[in-house]
Structure 1
Amino acid sequence: MSLVSPHHAEELRLGARELGVDLSPLQHEQLLAYLALLIKWNKAYNLTAVRDPDEMVSRHLLDSLSVVRFVAEGGQRWLDVGSGGGMPGVPLAILFPERAFTLLDSNGKKTRFLTQVKLELKLANLEVVHSRVEQFQPAAAFDGITSRAFSSLQDFASWTRHLGNCDTRWLAMKGVQPDDELQALPPDFRLEACHVLKVPGCQGQRHLLILRRTS
């Protein structure tokens, strides 16, 4: 029995269109293959708290695709911190094959899953790193750093400060607008923009906060 149904395929196609994301047939196929791996491995590895496959298209795939237009604005080298099951890093790597995405997580089970995704989907532009974020030392600063429900904004900025510079954009995906967290931002970070994300099929609020270093 296939883990991904025609209903999932149609929900993805319509949801992407609603988000203004133009999926090629290959990208649509790769996203569904990723979904199938997520459903399969989640049974044993507890990759995500969402257990129902019928919720995964909206809460994982479409949620990740909701930031595509902000990633499209620039940057060749991206880091997804605390990537977990690979959101938003894997969908973004599928959408932008010409850019490099590093997916970082300290959980070995999750990085093993991500390595399997890279192999099965043949994502040459994706690198998986098993490390704590504070200990990760890349050769150069990243152009963009994403996180999805990874930590507070204060911790996100503090723990990844050494991975970016004044040209880097930090993209933090959140639920409700975290006003308290914004008050606690480190002094060398500022909020550049806050966008309300409308994710097809998702109940509840979604926000994207774009941060910059000031020094």
Structure 2
Amino acid sequence: MTPAQFQEKFGVSRETLEKLEVYAAHLRKWNPAINLVSNTTLEDLWSRHLADSAQVFSLVPDGTKVLVDLGSGAGFPGLVLAILGVRSVHLVESDVRKAAFLREVARVTGAPATIHPVRIEVADVPEADVVSARALAELTLLLPWAHGMLRPGGVCLFPKGRTAEDELTAVKDSWNMRIERFPSQTDPAGTILRISDLSPK
């Protein structure tokens, strides 16, 4: 996927596309030193990472004020969502070098992102309307973390691969939740889970 194809697919403004191009350039520059993404996926950065993250934006509820992204790594999907227009994004990333990368990209793009270079368990973040995480952990870990951060009525957005149904089975006896499944636009085996009404059984 090229930047022009990305722009056509997601209907972003020229200004937004330029910010994402700056993001992509920084990622390519920093990647050899701190291994933000695998080199094989770097070759198709716009599809494998930027579009894969951007597709989550349409699932963010209207009126969302605070989104907390767990284990942000290179910033997917949280930093992309900030650039696309989510008002206040909090990126939790314990690796200090990756956190430095996130802080620099947020600075040069003007993205409304706050970086928390700490472990998820001790992150001091505002009550979230949305909690997101991509390629971080299974739902057995994600749901307790998210539950402690979500405001009443908040939702989780978790892009998942082939293991989605197995992970849901593993937590069905421990959690009450409403589950919506959206097919990934970038991975034929992928699903984006939107989880709401989350409470422990």
CA apart distance, 1:89: 1.1
Aligned to 1:5: none
In the alignment, the residues of structure 1 paired with residue 152 and residue 169 of structure 2 have an alpha-carbon distance, to the nearest angstrom, of 20
**Residue 15 of structure 1: CA displacement?**
3.2
SS of the residue corresponding to residue 156 of structure 2 reads: strand
Query: How far did 1:74 drift?
Result: 3.9
Q: Is the 8 A contact 1:93 1:101 kept in 2?
A: yes
Tell me the equivalent position of 2:151.
Answer: 165
Equivalent residues in 2 for 1:18-37, closer than 5 Å: 18=9, 21-37=10-26
Which stretch shifts more, 48-57 or 145-154? 48-57
For residue 128 of structure 1, the aligned residue among 91, 95, 115 is 115
Instruction: Point out where structure 1 has 5 or more consecutive residues left out of the alignment.
Output: 1-7
TM-score normalised by the chain length of structure 1? 0.85
Scaled by the length of structure 2, what TM-score is found? 0.90
Identity of aligned residues (%): 27
1:3 aligned residue = none
- State how 1:188-203 maps to structure 2 within 5 Å: 188-199=175-186
Provide closer, same or farther for how the CA distance between residues 94 and 72 of structure 1 changes in structure 2, counting only shifts above 3 A: farther
Structure 1 residue aligned with 2:5 = 14
Identify which of 103, 106, 111 aligns with 1:118: 106
What is the distance in 2 between the residues matched to 1:12 and 1:72? 26
Deviation at 1:177, TM superposition (A): 4.9
Q: Which structure shows the higher strand fraction?
A: 2
Instruction: Kindly provide the amino acid, as one letter, of the partner of residue 131 in structure 2.
Output: I
Aligned residues of 1:137 and 1:163 also touching (Cα < 8 A):
no
Find out whether 1:88 has 2:77 as its counterpart. Answer: yes
RMSD of the TM alignment (CA)?
1.9
Which ranges of 4 or more aligned residues in structure 1 deviate by more than 3 Å?
50-53
Cα separation, 1, equivalents of 2:58 and 2:33:
34
Count of equivalent residues = 198
